Amino acid sequence: MTNKEKTAWLGRYLHEQARQRMLYGEVEALQAQAARTAEFLGGEAPRTARAAAQLQAAKRRLDAQAARCLALRRQIVWAISRLEDERQREVLLRRFVRGQTVREAAGEMGVVARRVEQMQTAAIRALPLRGAARGAKTAKDGEKGGETP
């Protein structure tokens, strides 16, 4: 795996997490819409049933996305834990699991932003990942096993 592929693989968790937040917002909006529909129509069966079905479908999508996020997070945290250098592990966890910016990570670690960038580059280079295509597909599809560094 190239460094660019490793960075993309690590970044998938934050991307999937953003998708999960979007789906959560969709569920909240559908819940509010269903409540307004039921209140306005007094429980008119066809429309409230349709709203309930849409809400259930959105909840299923959210549950599936949450499972994908969890599986991908576990893979990423496991891969990062394989690094020997503690500071490199900390940088990758802050950047790719917590979603901190370079400046945020630098501030909390007590170093300058350029040093965080250097440690991140070194950590990604040292990250022992194999099978870019298989791992990316597995993480995307939410299958177990997937990327095994």
Residue range 5-29, pLDDT digits in tens: 999 999 999 999 999 999 999 999 9
Determine the pLDDT at residue 147: 42
Determine the pLDDT at residue 145: 43
Determine the pLDDT at residue 48: 72
Residue 138 has pLDDT above 80, yes or no: no
What pLDDT, in 10s, does the model give residues 30-68?
A: 888 877 777 776 655 666 777 788 889 999 999 999 999
Cα distance between residue 123 and residue 83, in whole Å: 7
Cα distance between residue 44 and residue 55, in whole Å: 16
Q: Using pLDDT thresholds of 50, 70 and 90, give the confidence band for residue 124.
A: very high
Domain boundaries, the chain: 3-82+127-141
Determine the pLDDT at residue 141: 45
Query: Encoding tokens for residue 26?
Result: 């969709």
Query: What average pLDDT does this structure show over 114-128?
Result: 96
Contact 78, 149 (CB under 8 A): yes
**For all residues of the chain together, what is the average pLDDT?**
85
Determine the pLDDT at residue 132: 39
Query: Among residues of the chain, what percentage have pLDDT more than 70?
Result: 82
Residue 146 has pLDDT above 80, yes or no: no
Angle, CA 94 vertex, CA 89 and CA 99 arms, to 5°: 140
